Amino acid sequence: MTDVFPAPGHDHARCSSEALAHAEARCAERAQRLTPMRRQVLEVLATSHQPLGAYEIMDRLARHGPRPAPITVYRALEFLVEQDLVHRIESRNAFLACIRPHDAGVPVVFLICERCGAVGEASSAAVGQSLAAAARQAGFAPKSPVVEITGICAHCR
């Protein structure tokens, strides 16, 4: 799957605007508000394909106005994660704008490049079936099946 990682020279402005348009549509269909702060946090995340921590987000927001309080950013991130607009990369304690829709019940596989820091999103029904079988066998009910794999992306190889 070669389109998991955007090419280094891709049209990132278009990529970001599509993520924001998707967020606006998702919030409208769910009768949720994409407040100015939520939108600003999403815009910061959409400017990069690398995960950012909450304090990195605050630093970037402070470049264009007053520095927001940590609780404000964390609340915005919580909302964006709940609406499936942002992913939390557990191993990095960081967040990433969701750039593609995912099928319900199919786990997201994050491919994290150790060189450039980019994170690719892939979905895999086969991985989902294997994880579900392992969970059933253990008598476990998974809440959010996510797989994080580190390595080197095709662009860095």
pLDDT of residue 18: 87
Q: pLDDT tens digit string along 101-126?
A: 666 667 788 999 999 888 888 877 88
Residues 137 and 64 reside in one and the same domain: no
Query: pLDDT tier at 19 (50, 70, 90 boundaries)?
Result: confident
pLDDT of residue 47: 87
Please state the rounded mean pLDDT for residues 135-154.
Answer: 88
Q: What is the domain-level CATH number for residue 15?
A: 1.10.10.10
Residues 85 and 133 reside in one and the same domain: no
Total tally of structural domains belonging to the chain: 2
Residues 16 and 93 reside in one and the same domain: yes
DSSP at 63? T
Please state the rounded mean pLDDT for residues 77-86.
Answer: 94
d(CA 119, CA 30): 27
C-beta separation of 65 from 72 below 8 A: no
* Domain coverage including residue 134: 108-151
Residue 99 scores a pLDDT above 70: yes
The top-scoring range by mean pLDDT among 15-24, 44-53, 64-73 is 64-73
Residues 21 and 63 reside in one and the same domain: yes
Q: What is the domain-level CATH number for residue 146?
A: 3.30.1490.190
Of 24-33, 74-83, 85-94, 128-137, the poorest mean pLDDT is in 128-137
